[in-house]
Structure 1
Amino acid sequence: MRIVTRLIAMNRSRQLAKQLREIERQIHALPKRSRARLGTMALREIGQASRSDFPHLYGTPPEERYLPWGQGTDIGLARARSDNAEIAMRGIALWLAVAYHETKNTPHPSMQPHHRDLMRLLRGLKEDHREDPMQSWMQAPAAA
């Protein structure tokens, strides 16, 4: 049974690696202002997922609750490929949230590098959010 579990984890790891590369390309193609906004959206999605019963199954229909992994990354990736910028950003945020919870504290060594890559990507979004000029403008005291 352990061999089967390892094979399933390796297959899932390969699938996540491929999706992560595509998500990274899409994030780097966004303008800096949109990346700052995406960071906020991703943080919100991660928080909402953590409040659910099964965070790694966030975005998965209830009837598919007992699968080894959910459909959230597939749904997020499909939305991320949308021509509509808002839908694409929401899809990327969903993908990041589900992948974060799926790879966090994983016992499978093949999944751990993906969590590190994901954390690096989220840190980059956080830095873009901090450097956003609109953020400092909104925080500045009003001139009287």
Structure 2
Amino acid sequence: MNSPTLPTPRWFVVDDESPILNLTEQVLRKFSVADVRGCADPCEALDDMRTAPDELELLVTDLNMPGMNGLELARHVRALAPRAKVVLITGSALTLPDKRTLAAHGVDFLLPKPFGVRELMSAVRGLCGADSFRAN
């Protein structure tokens, strides 16, 4: 008897800064088994997420973006896919949200910029578990 195949989890990287978007997306693609999608526009990303909310496992998003900030996007994702994990990245130490604000918007982890591959992978592995990563 064949067991049903589970859908591939979808991970989204949303950042209006192309270098950070591209690098983060590449790192996650290299190490994960997920379908990693990058987008510079949070509204477009949210539209894509709505096509298969049950497959949405992770959002890595910048805080400050035009159109919709990362906290707003996180809140939408939490409503759309309550089990999805959210990593908020920001380079602005002056406007860091407090823990209560992060929790109210469904943010699981705050990752300050600049961050390295090790910090990113540690945060994501801690949230999504080892099964989401390729064997080395």
| TM-score, reference length from structure 1 | 0.26
* Greater strand proportion: 2
Bigger Cα Rg: 1
Higher relative contact order (CA 8 A, sep 6+): 1
| TM-score, reference length from structure 2 | 0.27
